[in-house]
Structure formats: structure tokens, C-alpha cells
Amino acid sequence: MSDLPQFPPGFRFGVSTASYQIEGAVGEGGRGASIWDTFAHTAGKVRDGQNGDVACDHYHRWEGDLDLIAGLGAGAYRFSVAWSRVQPTGSGPANPEGLDFYERLVDGLLARNIDPLLTLFHWDLPQALQDLGGWANRDTPMRFGEYAELLGERLGDRVKLWITLNEPYIHFALGHVQGIHAPGLQMLSDQLPVVHHLLLGHGLAVSALHRTSSSPVTLANNYSPVWPKSDSEADQMAAAVYDMVQNHLFTAPILLGEYPPGYEFLTTADVDSIVLEGDLEVISQPIQAMGVNYYNPSLIAAPPEGDPLPFARLELEGYPKTAFDWPVVPDGLRELLVSLKERYGDRLPPVWITESGCSWPDLDDQFRIDYIAGDLAAVRAAIDAGVDVRGYCTWSLMDNFEWAEGYHQRFGLVHVDFDTQVRTPRRSYEWYRQVCTAAAPRPDLQQDPTG
């Protein structure tokens, strides 16, 4: 432990999860179907035909899971609400059983002295809304604002940090362009409506949460430092486009009130028919934190001729690889935090690392310990360089349903046997417990609305 950096007083260490990845109980408590139920039950979409029907059975085992978080001494738990538990078809009155479940969870966290950090949308859109066009339909952000209001009314006095959207860029790119995540669309043109409506949904949720809660509000963006493959003009241009879509498309409108230069290629229609007057004001309402999810840098080159995309993603060689084959580049986290600060300056609110982690199966997981230690050194270096970072939540508390990879990737501090549901803390759990318990005592987040 002695080699671990020190963090400012009040810095929070926590763990993250998401509803569809852990809850199971998809037909219980009045829950409606989500796009991930549909997608995972479509042949050929998820490895080995796996799905989240049972997942970690967290819906029934939540108390034991909260004890695991408490056992870490963690100061924060980031989880997400399944929209279709609260509103089975994505609109209309709340389903009381759904709200009750999350209220028990929040109260259970507070009873254990853990700050609840609540994500409203971690990709599991109610299927009924997808049937009406999903995020391509301008009604969806309106529905999202109403859903946010229901949660704010019920839990606004107890949730300590609100996260509207998880990784809108990944949901857009993998779900609506590549088609390897739900809803499985492969839109090659006219992508701007999905992007814009996600942003508008964020803005409307921010309004609803500010009306109903005094806690800070943010979103969790997935950022990746972009490294061009060469100095050639073609590679540099491709990298610039990639940097714009991955890192700034869902940040510049929120922090600066304008889309980043070059975004127009996302539609063949007239931009003004999609981005209506007043929208950017809604989108750019002040947020009190910026959630950063980090996994690895992106190596980008010019696309092969005839490719429909304006860039090509290449494999990054020369780094250790996780069991998912993702490169391990902890300093990329420092690089990206510093670059966000350079680009957005005082517009960048205090940062929370809302996710970072690795797939590694062994119970004796020195690999994961080194991974998190690398992250913490990078965060410390970013703080030293002037970035205001307030917390770090590792992905994930426990092994769970890893989207298109099913149960084949294990990101947990805690191992889950998916036949018996037995939870077994890995060595990293014990190590991270020391990190959490060594952290300085923390003041109440709600008394410090700047984050």
C-alpha cells in the first residue's frame, strides 16, 4: 500500500455496475421488456446465445451485494436503474414495485454509509420506445425527461450524484452504427438524430433533476486518447474525425453549447431540421461534475478505400493485453484528463472517474491490482497537473453480463459462479479494500453542490 499515491481529502473510492448486466429477474416486479432483452434473445447477437435473464440475480441478492460493497469500505456505489422497471413501456405513471426496489437499494446504501450514484440510462431502453423509433424519435428525450422527474421526485433527497446517460457515444456507435449492441442498427447516414436526441434527453433530465434534487448532476462519457497511426495527412485527418466523434460530440454541446466542428457529416439532411432552436440551451445547462469512463487509447488510420466510415481503428501493439485483448495504457487516463482540461478549461466541472477496469478471470488477480494501481497513479498525476478529480469508481463490483461477450469476460473484484450465484472476492477485492479504507474521511457531497 505504501507505494499508493495520496488523494485529496474527500476523494471517494467506489465500484460501478449497471442494471441489465447484474439484475436478472427480467419478468418480475412489473418490469417491461428492454431493447437488451430483445437483442440478447435474437440468435447470433450475443456470444453463445447468452442473455441477462438471470445475470447475477442481483434483484434477489441485492442485500448481500450491498454487504460486499460495505465490506470494501467503499464510499460510493454507482448503479443504474432499469427504465422499464420504473415505466414498463417507457411512459406514463410509475410502476410502484420498480421505484420501491431502487428505494430499498438507495436506503440500503445510505444505511451502510455508501453514497448512491445513480445512472438513469445504461443502454436498456424500454422496447416499447424502440418500437416507436427509439432515440431516432424526438419523443424519446421527452419521455426520458419525465422518467428523470419520477426518479428525482422519489429519490432526489437521497441520491448523491445523478448520471443521466452512460456512454452515449458507445450506445450510438455500437448500437446504432456497428449494430453489435442493442438495438442492433447499422445506420450509415442520418446518424445525427440519434446523437442529438441523446443529448436532448440528457438536457431534459438535467432540468428535471435540478427541479427535484439539490445533488450534482452529470453524465458518464467514454473517452479515449486518439493516437494517429502516422504523420501522414490522411492518418492525421482520420484521427481528427475520430477524436471529434468519440471525445467531443457528446461533450462540446454540453460544456460549450455547440457541436464540434465537422459534425455535419453525420447527416445528409438539413441540420436545422434536427437541431431545433433552443435545443442547445437545454443541452448545455450547467452540470456539476463530468463523469469519465476510461478503458484505452485508440490507434486511428485513414480508412481503406471505399469504406463507409471516415476512419479505421487499428490494434494497439506493444502493451500488455487484458483477457478481452484490450491494451493496458494507464497513462492514457492522465493524457485524456489533461487534454479535457486543456480543451474545456474552466468549463470542465469537477471530474469523477465513473468507470475503469479490466477483464481478468483469475481469483489471484495481480493483473487487476496492477491495472487499478496504474489508474490511481494516472489520476494522481492528472490532479498534480491541475485537473480537479473527485472520485474513482472501478468497473466492476462483480463479474456480470458483458454485453455482446455474454459471461465470457470477467471484470469483477468479486468472482461470480453463474451456475450457483456464489460470490467469491478476488485478491483485488482485498487490495482495493485497503485503498478504500485508507482514504481520508469524506464530507457530505450534498453540502458541497460543486461536486
**358 with 411: CB under 8 angstroms?**
yes
Catalytic site residue from 167, 264, 281, 315: 167
- When the beta carbons of 59 and 123 are compared against ligand GBH, the nearer one is 123
Length of the chain: 451
Shortest reach from residue 295's CB to ligand GBH, in Å: 4
- When the beta carbons of 59 and 294 are compared against ligand GBH, the nearer one is 294
What single letter denotes the amino acid at residue 430?
Answer: E
Shortest reach from residue 178's CB to ligand GBH, in Å: 10
- When the beta carbons of 18 and 302 are compared against ligand GBH, the nearer one is 18
* Binding of residue 166 to ligand GBH (CB under 6 A): yes
Which residue in 231, 246, 224 sits closest to 302, CA to CA? 231
- Count CB atoms within 10 A of the CB of residue 441: 7
**393 with 14: CB under 8 angstroms?**
yes
Spatial distance between the Cα atoms of 135 and 190, rounded to a whole number of angstroms: 12
To the query of whether residue 355 is one of the catalytic residues in this protein, the response is yes
Task: Label residue 273 exposed, middle or buried (CB < 10 Å: 0-12, 13-18, 19+).
Answer: exposed
* Binding of residue 167 to ligand GBH (CB under 6 A): yes
Residues between 389 and 408 with contacts to ligand GBH, criterion CB under 6 A: 395, 402
Judged by CB under 6 A, the residue of 319, 326, 367, 418 near ligand GBH is 326
* Binding of residue 222 to ligand GBH (CB under 6 A): yes
**447 with 10: CB under 8 angstroms?**
no
- When the beta carbons of 279 and 399 are compared against ligand GBH, the nearer one is 399
Residues in contact with ligand GBH, total (CB under 6 A)? 16
Spatial distance between the Cα atoms of 156 and 154, rounded to a whole number of angstroms: 6
Sign of CA dihedral 27, 32, 38, 40: negative
Spatial distance between the Cα atoms of 257 and 95, rounded to a whole number of angstroms: 35
Q: Using the rule CB under 6 A, give the single segment among 94-102, 135-143, 192-200, 293-301 that binds ligand GBH.
A: 293-301
Spatial distance between the Cα atoms of 3 and 119, rounded to a whole number of angstroms: 33
Catalytic site residue from 23, 149, 335, 355: 355
Shortest reach from residue 316's CB to ligand GBH, in Å: 7
* Binding of residue 335 to ligand GBH (CB under 6 A): no
Task: Give residue 444's Cα distance to chain centre.
Answer: 23
What single letter denotes the amino acid at residue 104?
Answer: R
Residues between 114 and 153 with contacts to ligand GBH, criterion CB under 6 A: none
Residues between 336 and 375 with contacts to ligand GBH, criterion CB under 6 A: 355
- When the beta carbons of 7 and 352 are compared against ligand GBH, the nearer one is 352
Which residues belong to the active site?
167, 355
Residues within the interface to ligand GBH (CB under 6 A): 18, 21, 166-167, 170, 222, 293, 295-296, 298, 326-327, 355, 395, 402, 411
